Chains A and B, each alone.
Chain A
Amino acid sequence: MSVLEIRDTGIRFGGLVALEGVNIDVPEWEIVGLIGPNGAGKTTLFNCIMGLYTPNTGTVSYRERDISSLPTHRRVELGIGRTFQNIGLVRGLTVLENFLVAQHPRIGYGSLSALAGFPRTFAEERRLKASAMEVLDFIGLTHLAESRLDGLPYGTLKLIEIGTVLATDPDLLLLDEPTSGMGPEEAHEFGERLLELRKTLNLTVLMIEHHVPLVVGVCDYVYVLNFGKVLTDGIPAEIKSHPEVIAAYLGGDVEEETTDVPA
Chain B
Amino acid sequence: MGTATEAITAPIPATHDRWHPSTAGWVARLTVLVLIFGGVLWVTAIVPQYWADRISLAVIYCIIGLSLNVVLGYVGQVSLGHHAFVGIAAFVAAFYVTEQAGCTAELGCPFDHFLAGIGLGVLSGGVAALLLGLVALRIRGLYLALITLTYGFMAERSIFEIPSLTRGGAGMPAPRPDGILGLNFTSDRGFAFLTFVFLALVLFVDWRLLRSKVGRAILSIKHSEPVAASYGINVTAYKLLAFILSGMFAGLAGGLMAFRATTVVSNDFNFSIALLWVLMVVVGGLGNRTGVVVISAFFALFPFLPELWTAADRFVVDTLERSMSLVTIVFGALLALLTIIQFPGGFAEQVSPITRWLRGQKFSMHPEGEGGHSKGHDKSKSDKGGGLLAKLGLHRGEHDEPAEEADEPEGKN
**Is B412 an interface residue when CB atoms closer than 8 A count as contact?**
yes
Task: Say yes or no: A143-B15 contact (C-beta < 8 A), given A151-B378, A158-B384.
Answer: yes
Q: Decide: A115 and B205 in contact? CB cutoff 8 A.
A: yes
Q: Decide: B216 and A202 in contact? CB cutoff 8 A.
A: no
Question: A141 to chain B: which residues have CB within 8 Å?
Answer: 391
Question: B412 to chain A: which residues have CB within 8 Å?
Answer: 138, 166, 200-201
Q: Decide: A154 and B384 in contact? CB cutoff 8 A.
A: yes
- Per-position 1/0 for B31-43, Cβ under 8 A of A: 0000000000000
Question: B390 to chain A: which residues have CB within 8 Å?
Answer: 189, 193
Majority DSSP secondary structure for residues of A touching B:
helix
Option from A89, A90, A111 in Cβ contact (under 8 Å) with B213:
A111
Q: Decide: A93 and B216 in contact? CB cutoff 8 A.
A: yes
Q: Decide: B211 and A140 in contact? CB cutoff 8 A.
A: no
Interface residues of A in 103-126 (CB under 8 A from B): 104-105, 107, 109, 111, 114-117, 121, 125
Interface residues of B in 256-298 (CB under 8 A from A): none
A102 to B219, CA, bound (A): 13
Task: Say yes or no: A71-B236 contact (C-beta < 8 A), given A90-B219, A197-B394.
Answer: yes
**Is B161 an interface residue when CB atoms closer than 8 A count as contact?**
no
Interface residues of B in 353-388 (CB under 8 A from A): 368-370, 372-373, 375, 377-381, 383-386, 388
**Is A5 an interface residue when CB atoms closer than 8 A count as contact?**
no
Question: A189 to chain B: which residues have CB within 8 Å?
Answer: 385-386, 389-390, 397
Please name the residue on chain A nearest to B208 by beta carbon. A117
How many A residues, CB 8 Å from partner?
Answer: 76
A41 to B336, CA, bound (A): 44
Q: Decide: A104 and B213 in contact? CB cutoff 8 A.
A: yes
Q: Decide: A147 and B216 in contact? CB cutoff 8 A.
A: no
Question: B373 to chain A: which residues have CB within 8 Å?
Answer: 147, 151-153
Q: Decide: A140 and B232 in contact? CB cutoff 8 A.
A: no
Question: A166 to chain B: which residues have CB within 8 Å?
Answer: 412
CB distance from A60 to the nearest CB of B (A): 15
CB distance from A35 to the nearest CB of B (A): 19
Interface residues of B in 13-39 (CB under 8 A from A): 13-16, 18
Interface residues of A in 124-153 (CB under 8 A from B): 125, 138-148, 151-153
Option from B8, B12, B211, B233 in Cβ contact (under 8 Å) with A73:
B233
A102 to B233, CA, bound (A): 9
Q: Decide: B394 and A181 in contact? CB cutoff 8 A.
A: no
Option from B15, B216, B238, B394 in Cβ contact (under 8 Å) with A142:
B15
Q: Decide: A159 and B413 in contact? CB cutoff 8 A.
A: no
**Is B245 an interface residue when CB atoms closer than 8 A count as contact?**
yes
Please name 15 further chain A to chain B contacts, defined as beta carbons within 8 Å, in addition to the given A77-B232, A155-B4, sorted by A numbering.
Answer: A71-B234, A90-B223, A90-B227, A92-B219, A93-B220, A102-B231, A104-B213, A111-B214, A114-B208, A115-B208, A115-B212, A143-B14, A155-B385, A159-B392, A190-B389
Which chain B residues have a beta carbon within 8 Å of chain A's beta carbons? 4-5, 7-9, 12-16, 18, 204-205, 207-209, 211-214, 216-217, 219-220, 223-224, 226-236, 238, 241, 245, 368-370, 372-373, 375, 377-381, 383-386, 388-394, 396-398, 408-410, 412-413
Name 27 A/B residue pairs within 8 A (Cβ), A-sorted: A50-B229, A73-B229, A73-B232, A76-B232, A84-B230, A101-B231, A104-B217, A111-B212, A114-B209, A114-B212, A125-B212, A138-B393, A139-B391, A145-B15, A146-B369, A147-B372, A151-B375, A154-B378, A158-B384, A158-B385, A187-B385, A189-B386, A190-B386, A196-B396, A197-B392, A199-B408, A201-B412
